Amino acid sequence: MPPSCLRIGLIGLGIVGSEVATRLLQHREAYRRRTGVDLVLERVLVRDPVRPRRVALPAGMLTARPEDLLDDPQLEVVVEVAGGEEPARTYMERAIRSGKHVVTANKVVMARHGPALLELAGRANVDLYFEAAVGGGIPLISTFKVDLLANQIERVVAVINGTTNFVLGRMADAGLGLDAALAEARAAGYAEADPSEDVDGWDAAAKLAIMASVAFLARVHPDCVYREGIRGVDPIDFRYARELGYEVKLLALAARRDDSLEARVHPVLVPHGHPLASVQGARNAVYVEGDLVGQVLLQGEGAGGRPTASSVVGDLLDLAASVRRRVEVRSAPRFDDELTVLPMDEVRTRAYFRCRVVDGPGVLAAIFSIFGEEGVSIASAIQKESDGRWAEFVVTTHPASDAALRRTRERVSRLQVVHSVGSFLRVL
Ligand code: HSE
């Protein structure tokens, strides 16, 4: 007989943990009716068990001793929502090794150690769920693992960091500088404690590594993801971008290129009319192309206690259903070790350059000849009337290798007649 009860140990009682605990306690009966399995929250591991909490838990449920969860043979599942790399990774590994299923919302651990932990879970014949590790409440991992499994995934392009999307939106619409827009994001409760996580693209790179690993069944470590944040975007770029028919977004992109993968995070000019151009505020959206399904867009709240708890508890209910179905063999995904990440130099993309140049004869000819020598074809060029000395000159290109585009930027910026290449952004 399958167990009619799944006993849960929860690690972490912060914003997400409180929502998970509340949901499990308040909906226990409804979930039991839905799955035929009683989801019982037994223990909660916290740093300080006597600190007042926003969720009222039965006496004795809180503990500060990891072994009360990890060494308790009665617990069948560990739910990890504490975050951070350590000790969370060690706890997850210990739980898996002792035969417990694991459900986690941990982006850092899954980005850096996901494939190894999934393989360990396969060997231990337990499940490791991580829907909540990327995109809060948006069903991404299960979509790749189940609904899109029949496809060869060609491309995943995502607005996956809510803070930078909010910040870029405020810079575009209200003309704010980066610091002022970021202060608004913090006041609204979006930004990470360390703003560099958002602004420099670390958060998006970790999320892309997880999504790409699942979508392409490749081992994509965040260190292999090419990464540029939004510090190089100037408020004036939004005006030029709009004039040219684009919005500026921080995108996370992964794409299949023959036997390799592109995996990159950087600001991109996205054409008006593309579904990702209209993603507003701190929302997230993931655009997927599969060979069978065509184009799919998934969007919603990418962070926050309740959306993230939706994914965590959803994973628990899926686990309960598998227990109820008496699933006996739980296997790890088979990663394709041949599929490696292409160096950014070899990625072909389009680019946008904004330069301040001397307003005099032969200047554009000198610039254009560098583009020509590097084999970079110009798609559009705008020059505004100058202030008497410097003129602003904006170019978009046709696709070229990123190495050629960056060499072009470097060579143009060294010309005597060029004051600076103020911005260099890619174009979708
Ligand atoms: N700081 C993240 C974001 C939320 O802005 O999307 C947590 O992943």
Average pLDDT over residues 312-335: 93
Q: What is the pLDDT of residues 353-399, one digit of tens each?
A: 999 999 889 999 999 999 999 999 999 999 887 777 789 999 999 99
Q: Measured in angstroms, how far is the CA atom of residue 184 from the centroid of ligand 1?
A: 15
pLDDT for res 135: 96
CA–CA separation, 398 and 379 (whole Å):
5
State the DSSP string of 41-104.
Answer: EEEEE-S-TTS--SS---TT-EES-THHHHT-TT--EEEE-S-SSTTHHHHHHHHHHTT-EEEE
Taking CA atoms only, the protein residue closest to ligand 1 atom 2 is 161
* Test site for ligand 1: of 161, 186, 194, 196, most ligand atoms within 8 A of the Cβ: 161
How far apart, in Å, do the first and last CA atoms of the chain sit?
A: 54
Q: What is the pLDDT of residues 34-68, one digit of tens each?
A: 999 999 999 999 999 999 898 989 889 999 999 99
Say yes or no to pLDDT of 1 above 60.
no
CA–CA separation, 361 and 358 (whole Å):
9
Domain with CATH 3.30.70.260 in the chain: 344-427
Average pLDDT over residues 124-144: 97
What is the third-level CATH fold of 143-301?
A: Dihydrodipicolinate Reductase; domain 2 (3.30.360)
Q: What is the pLDDT of residues 284-307, one digit of tens each?
A: 999 999 999 999 999 999 989 999
Question: 87: cis peptide before it, omega within 30°?
Answer: yes
| Ligand 1 atom closest to 166 (CA) | 5
> For residue 181, what are its two tokens?
């827009």
> What CATH number labels 344-427?
3.30.70.260
Query: How is domain 5-136+305-324 classified at the architecture level of CATH?
Result: 3-Layer(aba) Sandwich (3.40)
CA atoms within 13 A on the CB side of 180: 11
Average pLDDT over residues 70-92: 97
Domain with CATH 3.40.50.720 in the chain: 5-136+305-324
CA–CA separation, 24 and 320 (whole Å):
13
3: pLDDT confidence band, cut at 50, 70 and 90? Answer: low
- Global pTM reads 0.95
**Mean of per-residue pLDDT scores for the chain:** 95
Q: Is any ligand 1 atom within 6 A of the Cβ of residue 162?
A: yes
Cite the active site residues.
207
Q: Is any ligand 1 atom within 6 A of the Cβ of residue 302?
A: yes
Average pLDDT over residues 161-185: 96
